[in-house]
Amino acid sequence: MALQRMDHVTIVVRDLGAAVDFFRELGMEVDGRTQVHGEWVDRICGIDGVTADIAMLHTPDGHGRIELTRYLSPEPDPAARAPEPVEAPGLRQIMFAVDDVDDTVHRLVEHGAEIVGDIVQYKDAYRLCYLRGPEGIIVALAEEVR
């Protein structure tokens, strides 16, 4: 048995609508939305009584996918997982290749994102930056310099 591909990354959010809007503004496309519940989801999560709303999104090339999940029950602890600093161990950011970093930053800031540091140039290869989006998610942007 061999690994076929990475299928998707799941991000648990409190405001599913705001998260979907943010990633759509970034350029992702919605595959669909559904609500999940029942024995199978309880068993995979290891929690009884799970009900969750899910939105699946994909990148324009179809290769990258994100699952945005909002748990309705059990309700998440409001104090759980405050936004962590960039240097904290664990999954820290999701990077997207974009055509124009400046334009993308401008559009996402209008939708509530905050730039973490500065837009920088790495060698003669990329312009890069980090943004903090909904739920404190750090989104990295990379524009290839040509």
Q: How many CB atoms lie within 10 A of CB 130?
A: 19
> What is residue 95's predicted lDDT score, i.e. its pLDDT?
93
The last residue of one of the domains, among 45, 73, 101, is: 73
Dist. CA 134–CA 73, nearest whole Å:
21
pLDDT band at 57 (very low <50, low <70, confident <90, very high): very high
Looking at residues 84-106, what average pLDDT do you find?
A: 87
The number of distinct structural domains making up the chain is 2
Cβ 66 vs Cβ 28: under 8 Å: yes
Residue 125, phi then psi, degrees to nearest 5? -110, -50
Phi, psi of 16 (to 5 degrees): -65, -40
Residue 1 has pLDDT above 80, yes or no: no
Are 13 and 68 contained in the same domain? Answer: yes
Q: Are 56 and 32 in contact (CB under 8 A)?
A: yes
pLDDT of 78 strictly over 90: no
Please report the pLDDT score of residue 83 as a whole number. 72
Q: What's the average model confidence in pLDDT over 68-80?
A: 87
In a domain, 130, yes or no: yes
Domain that holds residue 35: 9-73
Residue ending a domain, among 73, 102, 118, is: 73
- Look at residue 18 in the predicted model and tell me its pLDDT: 95
Q: Is the pLDDT of residue 89 over 80?
A: no
- How high is the pLDDT of residue 82? 65
Question: How large is the average pLDDT for residues 27-53?
Answer: 95
In b/e form, how buried is each residue of 53-72, taking b as 16+ CB within 10 angstroms? bbbbbbbeeeebbbebbbbe
Distances (CA, A) of 60 to 2, 19, 96: 27, 18, 11
pLDDT, average across residues 23-50: 95
